[in-house]
Structure 1
Amino acid sequence: MTLAILTEKPSQGRAFGQALGGASGSFNGEAYVITSARGHLYELAQPEDQLVNALPSDVAKMKSWNLADLPWNEGDFSWTRVPIKGTSDTIAQVRAALSKVDEIVIATDLDPTGEGDAIAWNIIDELHLHGKKFSRMEFTDEAPASIQKAFVKRRAIKSMMDEGDYRKADFRNKFDFLTMQFTRVATVSAAQKAVLRQGRLKSVMVNLVGAQLEAHLNYVKIPEFQNRFRDENDVLYTNPAEPRFATQAEVPQGYRASKVILDSRTNKRTAPRRLLDLAGLAARLSGKGVKADHVLATYQKMYEDQVVSYPRTEDKTITTEQFNELLPFVNKIAGVVNVDTSLLTQRAPRKTHVKDSGAHGANRPGPKVPASLDALKAKYGPAAPLIYEELARSYLAMLAEDYLYESQDGHLETYPLFVGRVSVPKSQGWKAVFFDQDDAKSDLPAGTEAPSENTTGLGTIGQPIVYEIVPPRPEAPSMKWLMKQLEKRDVGTGATRTSTYADVTSDKAKFPLLNDKRGKITMTENGDMSYRLLPGTRIGDLGVTEQVYATMRDIAAGTTTAEAELAIVANWVRDDIETMQRNAVSMRKELGLSEVAQQKEKADGVWAVTGEPTKFNREWSGHKFTDKEVDQLLAGLEITFKATSAKSGNEFEAHGKLADQIFTKDGKDHPYIGFKADFGPKVDAKGVEQPQAKWCDHVFTAAEVKQLLAGDKIFIDDFVSKKGKTFGATVHFGEEDGKPGKKIIPEFG
């Protein structure tokens, strides 16, 4: 019996080959062959291609951006997948390998979101290979020992739907697919020349940045004043109960200098920070002018050459195997980034950073150590040395000693309620490897004052001062700030945050939502509109992601189903249509945008002239077509009805049918299908020729038509010439000499 090991990507396949003895062969007495995907090979088809037993009118509604056609009924979807562009060769190679074996071994990534399982099972499902035997390799990393152990102890699988990880990944994929509706809702509600892309993560990013920008820009400095003391070493002594005053002049001056009493000295230490993830790396580099999409592209190339580790990992630690694998290269890595190896004395695994769980391990340098940072720049571009130095220093800091300091506490002898504290550094430890002042500031909770730090400790005499307390201005939003907010709220994964941020800030995007200038974030015009549409919406609610992840866990556990949970999206869309349209009124007012007409109601169906589904405006010149008239128009028939002239307000009888037409806007022709009136003469039911409904832009009233039919001459003063000039003339309805048929004949003078 031969089995096929399906890995997620070629680099993973190579690691498996090295561990098992080649791309094919025998291990532990079992014949195998390794085949690799390239991430996802399939994606969900377009919404209009998902409908089961769809009529042409159903397809037209699904393509529609008319809010009357939302929400979608997800129960009508077949959830059809199609190959992703450019994957045909990989699909053929995987098909050839999997179809010939007795057992398929799933060896894709073990992701918290189940994405690796989805990659594998979607391939198996699309290739119709459910009749095979299946098993799952569950490995902590790609070290040979881990792969070999996972191969021997692989877990048997009954079927795709028995796998909780697949079920939760499938649900998330379908849920995110349905959120495309919110882009249509936002775009139509804004009624501007832009597509406002919404989504579970995009909307949260816009909401967070918009609120922080408002807080930063609207900040008003309102100081308070309080009695405090300061010693000769610049340490402050504060009594929390001391009253505060609105002005400096109000503060009573009743204190005098006092001796400082040292209460305690305590030696303390802090361990190195945890290793970087992709979002943290991209955020640090954004301040150096490196765009997130550039980080992603450069990192991927470096990873493929094993210069750095797998980029899209969700691990925050590394395994013992991974630690041991990189240990022989530590001094060489330190030399590349100019770190003193004498600082790297902790060569044993730290329990805080090394744990035998996870898959790829946290982001770190790879086993292929470059000759120099200049060599990286020459091969991969200017972002490469910056990426490598951040990763290397983050990793090497783990091998340095703890940061040591002495915490000193004291009070004033005369005023014991005034207390002070200072930190006295004793040994920089890991801070000498990977630390800067921005790091120190970012570690503080919002609104917290930085603790005193000096090299001498508390002073001896505290002098009374009037201290100005200024509430800190909310910081301007930056990529580093945003990634911290998302991580704190557990919104998205490190890799997803980075790729989504790259998407919404991309210079290549037609409608970007955010601007990134060296890591500082501002709103684009589209982002500002989006932010003002989001208050009170479900798609902009931070709690939605928490709810989605809770639902994913329930689906994996089998306590609920995707079908039941996806049904709630329709209600969210209904709610958000109302909310966004309400918000759009204030949005246009605040941004000085012109008011827009309400979206016109559409009629739809199959037009007999072409046999294709079509949509057209249901109202024409003040007349709303009845259901019967809609059916007649779709059948290609001509209809007659009473209409109202928009110019004069006069009622007139119109007749016409659907036709292909063109309107020109911004110098471009736009084809459309709509009702086209025939303003030429017509014959009534008795065969009597009728005057045309309109001549030179004047629509004849019913009384004027009666006069013309009677042969009367009438004077009208609001005719409009082809050059746009208004003129008056006497007209009658009759025959012109030598020409058949009647027409409107003017008389001038």
Structure 2
Amino acid sequence: MAKSLIIVESPAKAATIKKYLDDSFEVEASAGHIKDLPKTTLGVDVEKGFKPHFVIVPGKKKIVDKLKKAAAKADVVYLAPDPDREGEAIAWHIFEEIEKVSPKIERVLFTEITKASVRKALEVPRQLDRFMYESQLARRTLDRLVGYQISPILWRKVQRGLSAGRVQSVAVRLVVEREREIEAFDPKEYWVIDALVERPGIDVQPFKVTLRRWQGKRADIPSAKVTQAVLDEVKAATMSVIAVERKDRRRPAMPPLITSTLQQEASRLLRFSPSHTMALAQRLYEGVDLGPEGRVGLITYMRTDSVRMSADAVDAIRALVGQRFGPQYVPAKPIFYKNKRSAQDAHEAIRPTLIDKTPDSVKSFLGRDEFRLYQLIYNRALASQMAAAIYDQTVVDISAGAAQFRASGSVLRFDGYLAATRSGQKEAVEPSDDEFAQADFLPGNLEVGQAVRLVDLRSEQKFTEPPPRFSEATLVRELEERGIGRPSTYATIVGTVQSKGYVDKVDGRLRPSELGRIVNDLLVRHFANVVDYDFTAKMELELDEVEEGQKTRLDVLNGFYDEFSATVETATNEMRSIKAEALPAGLDCELCGSPMLIRFGKNGAFIGCSNYPECKNTGEFERDERGRIHKKAVADVGDCPECGAKLQVRQGRFGPFVACSTYPACKFTKPFSREERCPAEGCTGHLVEKRSKRGKPFFGCDRYPECTFVTGLSPAPGPCPQCGAPTLFQRSFRGAKTTVCAREGCGWSSRPAKKTA
């Protein structure tokens, strides 16, 4: 029997596909990229047309040898990595390794991993896409040129180990500029005036109206003085209804999800990070074990910028909507959504592959977070082909002398697509003693000319607020709206700016670190084009043109590199050395009165006296809401046993620790112990938080080396109900959290053990 070999990049995808095919097919996985540019050198020969020097990824030689061996035995090899630029690059590199041993090599695209789609794709193989590979190669080369030529300058001028990236540095700039916009924001005073009114003899309860116009203009009330004038006018005036507008308001469904909106909605509704969302989506796409059915890919390919769905999918969804909700929920014609101009439209929107696989029907086979994400994708796809929701909306204007008040209300008449998303249901409102809160409704029988009586009047001083800090989801949206990055890169960008230490996530919002501010300012000054929003978006469009065959890879690289190389040379000579000069902190030393400076050490930014070494005053610092620097207050953790000075908690490379406040005069240190006790049997120590050399947090015992307990799990309240260990720990798997005992030999878990036959 003739043998065919399918090569994908993921072992999970390989397992799913293998289930759909007979014994004439072998399925192997490359486990991602098998080739890449070398880590220690540029890997690009600029003088020879930007020729890349790819090497086998460390640790992948055995996989490459295995693929070669399997390809030599096959009559035909189907290269089936993901259907995007990265997947095309993986396919191309595999082709280069096996072309001498395989008589026939073809490319197949699996946009969904179901039995029907896999077999259909194998019926229509194609050749490798040279243009798509050239586009990926151009992107990889650009990123390498930027990273490997700017980063060494930052090492010399700021701090060793820093990195710059063609897109990551633009993302950092967005966060830094938003923070400075917040710091520079000047709040403006304004006043809101509400009235409680009723129609005498008609209303049994007053309703609330809000001032909208004053003296014929929009009601922008800037001060208490003007507010008082309005209040006096209203109290003396006769009030009446002067306008009533009733109309239908249609709220159409949203299009099905694409990569960016998936990340945004998962963040908004489920509180998932972009990276977590994409990891879950990858599993749903590659296949989930559904028990007797085996592995099934539940969603289409999750890296897409197209809102298009196939005609078959639309028909199936419309049929299900009619069956489940009724014919009135099915629009007369299928709804087709327009893509953005920048969309590549290479793939469908993210949708369920099999509409009969409802979230509830597969819930028992999914982890908690997998289920919630699948439910989001499923319901959004369903809703995208449902009728609009319809509201009865009423707007009422009431006059009171020179003041005009307005109230509006709407009642859901037909839920339409909201029946699928459930977002139309109002949340329960806590009872309130505030009569204005109780009056937040609108009577249904208001008519023009009706007299209105003032019951109460209230004014409230407010101030305009600065723009909010980016969340991970809103940063993704900003990148998308500016045309920066592509669906496959959003989650990576957002994760990278945090892992590199340029951006911190505080209470779910992104703030630039001090290092991020400094590096951004240096790049904006010396590499203006590289971090320019429009220039970066233009580069994305040029990469698209390479994929479409309208430009060559060399067109893009030559157009970029000539100016870039000159900029690198200038920056090498002219960029300010933060190592040598430090930066003014804007405050004076409390010990000697000299200016304090911002410096960078191996553990991050700190402030130190400019009179060093005569004055050794140093400390951690923070910025207030205006961006001004203040020295952090030192937590009182006792006195130093060696010199008697105060001890303080410091943040080190491997986690928090306690040190003498007179350092470096006194070098006493000790671990920073937490309240949780060590769970090891017979140990009286407490847990300490540490970080590995790679920055990964873990917990150990403060009695080390006498006690060698260590775990990567997070502490949870104890004791253990089985062995009495004082502290328990939390383990996460597929989004579900399980409490476990880490004491050796116990094995207790809050998750019931599986029954064995």
- What residue in structure 1 maps to residue 544 of structure 2? 553
**How far apart are residue 222 of structure 1 and its match?**
0.9
Give the Å deviation of 1:300.
Answer: 4.4
1:184-263 map, 5 Å: 184-185=151-152, 187-188=154-155, 190-192=157-159, 194-224=160-190, 232-234=207-209, 236-238=211-213, 241-242=217-218, 244=220, 246-250=222-226, 253=230, 256-262=237-243
Does residue 424 of the first structure (1) align with residue 410 of the second (2)?
yes
The 5 Å alignment of 1:260-299 reads 260-262=241-243, 264-277=245-258, 279-283=260-264, 291-297=273-279, 299=281
* 1:115 correspondence with 2:81: no
Distance across 1 between alignment mates of 2:461 and 2:124: 66
- What pairs up with 1:87-166 in 2 under 5 angstroms? 87-99=60-72, 105-111=78-84, 114-129=85-100, 135-137=106-108, 141-155=112-126, 157=127, 163-166=130-133
Do structure 1's residue 351 and structure 2's residue 335 form an aligned pair? yes
Change (3 A) 1:90 1:386: same
Structure 2 contact 193–210 (Cα < 8 Å) conserved? no
Quick check: 1:344–1:399 contact (8 Å CA) kept in 2?
no
Q: Runs of 5+ in structure 2 lacking a partner?
A: 198-206, 289-295, 428-438, 587-595, 601-663, 666-757
C-alpha separation in 1, matches of 2:597 and 2:424: 43
Offset, 1:244: 4.8
Aligned to 2:310: 319
- Residue of structure 2 equivalent to 1:168: 135
Query: 2:530 matched to 1:539?
Result: yes
Q: Secondary structure at the match of 2:584?
A: helix
Does the Cα contact within 8 Å between 1:402 and 1:429 map onto a contact in 2? Answer: yes
Aligned partners of 2:492 and 2:553: how far apart in 1?
Answer: 26
Call closer, same or farther: CA 1:48–1:190 in 2, change over 3 Å. closer
Judging changes above 3 Å, is the alpha-carbon distance between structure 1 residues 494 and 166 closer, same or farther for their aligned structure 2 residues?
Answer: closer
TM-score (norm 1): 0.58
Backbone CA RMSD of aligned residues: 5.1
> Partners of 1:454 and 1:189 in 2: how far apart?
64
Summarize the Cα distance change of 1:241–1:172 in structure 2 as closer, same or farther, 3 Å threshold: same
Q: Which residue of 2 aligns with 1:699?
A: none
**Deviation (angstroms), 1:362:** 0.5
Once the 2 structures are TM-superposed, how far is the Cα of residue 316 of structure 1 from its aligned partner?
3.8
Q: Look up the equivalent residue of 2:88 and give its one-letter code.
A: D
Alignment CA distance shift 1:435-1:469 (3 Å): farther
2:36 to 43, 46, 50: 43
Partner of residue 723, structure 1: none
Aligned position for 2:486: 493
1:43·1:81 contact (CA, 8 Å) conserved in 2?
yes
Q: Distance in 2 between matches of 1:575 and 1:462?
A: 72
Q: Aligned with 2:583: secondary structure?
A: helix
* Cα 1:526/1:186, change in 2 over 3 Å: farther
Within the alignment, does 1:405 sit opposite 2:400 as a pair? no
Aligned to 1:522: 511
Cα distance 1:471–1:428, how it changes in 2: closer, same or farther (>3 A)?
A: farther
Alignment of 1:391-402 (within 5 A): 391-395=377-381, 397-398=383-384, 402=388
Aligned equivalents of 1:531, 1:518: Cα separation in 2: 23
Cα deviation 1:334-387 (Å, max 9, x = unaligned): xxxxxx9769985789524799975464165988778799957xx85x644554
How far, CA to CA, are the matches of 2:139 and 2:172 in structure 1?
21
Q: Give the drift of 1:79.
A: 1.0
- Cα distance, 1:551 vs structure 2: 1.4
Would the alpha carbon gap of residues 292 and 153 (structure 1) be closer, same or farther in structure 2, given more than 3 Å must change?
closer
Question: C-alpha separation between the residues in 2 aligned to 1:189 and 1:458?
Answer: 74
Provide the residue aligned with 2:476 in structure 1.
483
Counterpart of 1:406, as a letter, is D
Distance 1:309 1:482 in 2: 25
Q: What secondary structure, in the 3-state scheme, does the structure 1 residue paired with 2:390 have? A: strand
Classify the secondary structure of the residue corresponding to 2:394: strand
- Secondary structure in 1 aligned to 2:505? strand
Distance change (3 Å), C-alpha of 1:530 and 1:383: farther
Q: What is the alpha-carbon distance in structure 2 between the residues aligned to residue 229 and residue 402 of structure 1?
A: 34
Q: How does 1:704-715 map to 2 (within 5 A)?
A: none
What's the secondary structure of 1:554's corresponding residue?
A: helix
- How do 1:315-394 and structure 2 match up within 5 A? 315-322=306-313, 346=329, 351-352=335-336, 359=347, 361-362=349-350, 380=367, 383-384=369-370, 386-394=372-380
Equivalent residue, structure 1, for 2:22? 22
- Do the aligned residues in 1 keep the contact of 2:503 with 2:516 (CA within 8 Å)? yes
1:569 corresponds in structure 2 to 561
The one-letter amino acid paired with 1:179 is V
Q: What residue identity is the alignment partner of 2:303?
A: T
Deviation at 1:406, TM superposition (A): 2.6
Q: CA deviation at 1:405?
A: 1.2
| CA 219–321 in structure 1, closer or farther in 2 if over 3 Å, else same | same
Q: Secondary structure at the match of 1:540?
A: coil
Q: Tell me, in whole angstroms, the C-alpha distance in 1 between the residues paired with 2:318 and 2:276.
A: 29
- Post-superposition Cα deviations, 1:553-599, rounded to whole Å, max 9, x if no partner, equal 33234443322422323532543675695576698235864689xxx
Taking a change above 3 Å as real, the CA distance of residues 465 and 457 of structure 1, as seen in their structure-2 partners, is: farther
Distance 2:361 2:173 in 1: 42
1:267 partner letter = D
Q: Find the residue that maps to 2:511 and give its secondary structure.
A: strand
Identity of aligned residues (%): 17
Counterpart residue type for residue 389 of structure 2: Y
Deviations 1:510-564 (Å, cap 9, x if unpaired)? x422222452222334323333333342332222331222211332344433224
Secondary structure of 1:249's match? helix
For residue 424 of structure 1, report the CA deviation from its aligned partner.
0.7
Alpha-carbon shift at residue 24 of structure 1 (Å): 2.7
Output the CA distance in 2 between the equivalents of 1:217 and 1:364: 44
Change (3 A) 1:50 1:258: same
Can you list the C-alpha shifts for 1:652-705, whole angstroms capped at 9, x where unaligned?
Answer: xxxxxxxxxxxxx99xxxxxxxxxxxxxxxxxxxxxxxxxxxxxxxxxxxxxxx
Residue 462 of structure 1: how far off its partner (Å): 9.5
- For residues 185 and 445 of structure 2, the distance between their equivalents in structure 1, rounded to whole angstroms, comes to 35
| Equivalent residues of 1:272, 1:398 under 8 A apart | yes
